[in-house]
Amino acid sequence: MPVSDQNPLVDQLREVHTEALERLGQVSDLTALDGWRVHYLGRKGALTQVIRGIGTLPTAQRPEVGQVSNEVKSALEEAFEAQVGAIKQAKLAKTLSRERVDVTLPGYPVSLGRLHPSTQTLREITAIFGEMGFQVFDSREVESDYYNFELLNIPPYHPARDMWDTFYINERVVLRTHTSPGQIRAMQAFHPDPIRVILPGMCYRYEAITARSEIMFHQVEGLAVGENITMADLKGVLVNFARRMYGAERQVRFRCSHFPFTEPSVEVDMDCIVCNGDGCPLCKQTGWLEILGAGMVHPAVLRNGGYDPERFNGFAFGMGPERIMMQKYGIDDIRYFFSNDLRFLEQFG
C-alpha cells in the first residue's frame, strides 16, 4: 500500500509543493520572492510545520515520509533559486533596453580643466619679466646643504639658518627652503657672460601650517649679474613689476633689511590695494603690504658663482606667487591654494 494511503502527511507535503509552485510563478520582484521563501521554507513556514509532524508517526512510516519531505524541500529550494535568477535577468534586460547605447551618436563632451591660480600667477610674472629681458632658468628642488646655505654665505651653525626651517633628507641633502640656490647654479651655468634670469619653483619649509604659512609654496627668484649694475637698476625693475602686476597707480617703497646673500638688502612694500594706503585689516592698519625681498648680490655669493666681485655686480629678488594673489584678490588664507577645493579654484578660471 502506498505511503499516502497510510499517512496524510504525504498528501499535505504534496499539497504544499503544488501550492508553493503555483504562487512562485506569480512572484515578479525580489521583495515578494523573499516573502514566499519565508512563508514556505522559513523556520515557521508551511513546509516546516508539516515536517515537524513526522515525529508523531510510527517508526516504520517515518523513513518514507522523510524521503518525500526532503524531495519536496529540495524541489522548492531549486525553484526558488531559479526564480531569483529569472527575476534578476528580467530586471537586467529591462535596464539594458532602457539604457542601450547608440554607438553612432557622438561622444559626450569632455569638460576641460583649468590652470591652477598659482600657475596663472607664475605665467603672469614670467610674462612681465620676459618683457624686461629676463629668461626662465629651472633649478632643482632637492638640493645639497652646500648650495642651499653655504654658497649663499650661510655657513654651518650660522644663526641666519634659523630663518629657514629645513626638511633634511640626510645630513647633506635638503628640500630647498628657497629658490636662492638657483642663483649659484645660474651663475655657474652662464659664467662668464652677463645674466638676467628668473627662477620659479616650489620650496619647502618645516613650519606650522597657518593662514599665512604653508610647508610648501612657490617662489620666483630673480637675478641679474653684469658690469655697472646699481641699486637704481633694481628699484626700476621692481617698481615696473609692481605696477604691471598690481596696477599703474601703485606706490612702492623700499625698507632696509638683511639677507645673508645680499648687501645691501631691502624689503619692498606697496600701498595696500584694499584701502589705498588708509589702513585696514589686510595691511594691519599700516597702509602698506610687503610684496618681496631684494638686494645687491653679496660679493661672496658672486665669487662662489664664478664672478669677480671687483668687476661684476648684480641684484637679486624673491617673491611668492601665492602671497601676490592673496594681496591682489584679498584672499585671507594661503591654505586655499593647496586644499583642492573647486569652489575656490574655479573662481580663477
State yes or no: pLDDT of 3 exceeds 80: no
- Residues 39, 22: Cα–Cα separation, whole Å: 14
Q: pLDDT digits over 136-148, tens only?
A: 999 999 999 999 9
Annotated domain spans of the chain: 3-98, 117-348
**Ramachandran assignment for 259, one of left (phi > 0), alpha (psi -120 to 50 degrees), beta (any other):** beta
Q: Which residue has the higher pLDDT, 246 or 301?
A: 301
CB 326 within 8 A of CB 202: no
Reference 182, options 269, 261, 264; nearest CA is 261
**Alpha helix locations (H) across the chain?**
3-6, 8-24, 30-41, 46-52, 62-98, 117-131, 145-148, 181-190, 231-246, 299-304, 321-329, 342-345
pLDDT at 293: 95
Cα–Cα distance, 24 to 79 (Å, whole number)? 8
Q: How confident is the model at residue 175 (pLDDT cuts 50, 70, 90)?
A: very high
Nearest-angstrom CA–CA distance, 70 and 63: 11
**Mean pLDDT score, 226-255:** 94
pLDDT confidence bin for 164, thresholds 50/70/90: low
CB neighbours of 154 closer than 8 A, spacing ≥ 6? 160, 161, 260, 261
CA distance 146 to 29: 74
Percent of the chain surpassing pLDDT 90: 45
- The pLDDT of residue 197 is 97
Cis peptide before 192 (omega within 30 of 0): yes
pLDDT band at 39; cut points 50, 70, 90: confident
Q: Which long-range contacts (CB under 8 A, 24 or more apart) does 37-45 make?
A: 37/80, 40/16, 40/76, 41/73, 41/76, 41/77, 41/80
pLDDT band at 173 (very low <50, low <70, confident <90, very high): very high
Please give the angle made by the CA atoms of 182, 184 and 189, to the nearest 5 degrees.
90
CA–CA gap between residue 18 and residue 7 (Å, rounded): 18
Contact between 136 and 222 (Cβ < 8 Å): no
Distance CA 329, CA 312 (A): 39
Please, what is the average pLDDT of the chain?
87
pTM for this model (two decimals): 0.66
User: pLDDT value at position 6?
Assistant: 55
Q: What are the b/e assignments for 275-308, b being 16+ CB within 10 Å?
A: eebeebebbeeebbbbbbbbbbbbbebbbbbebe
Burial letters 84-100, b for 16+ CB under 10 A, else e = eeebeeeeeeeeeeeee
Query: Does residue 114 surpass a pLDDT of 70?
Result: yes
pLDDT per position as a tens digit, 247-274: 898 889 999 999 999 999 999 998 888 7
Percentage of the chain exceeding pLDDT 70? 96
Does position 55 have pLDDT exceeding 80, yes or no? no
How far is Cα 33 from Cα 38, in angstroms, rounded to an integer? 9
Region 35-47: mean pLDDT is 82
Highest mean pLDDT among 87-91, 138-142, 339-343, 344-348: 138-142
pLDDT given for residue 285 in this prediction: 86
Helices 117-131 and 231-246, packing angle to 10 deg: 130
C-alpha–C-alpha distance, residues 257 and 250, integer Å: 22
Query: Distance between CA atoms of 332 and 341, rounded to whole angstroms?
Result: 15
Strands (E), 139-206: 142-144, 167-168, 173-175, 195-204
> Is residue 93 predicted with pLDDT exceeding 90?
no
Task: Name the class of domain 117-348.
Answer: alpha beta
User: Which of 11-15, 160-164, 201-205 bottoms out in mean pLDDT, i.e. has the lowest?
Assistant: 160-164
Q: Residue 198's pLDDT band (boundaries 50, 70, 90)?
A: very high
- Which grid cell sits at 311? 668687476
Query: Does 4 have pLDDT greater than 60?
Result: no
Mean pLDDT score, 279-304: 90
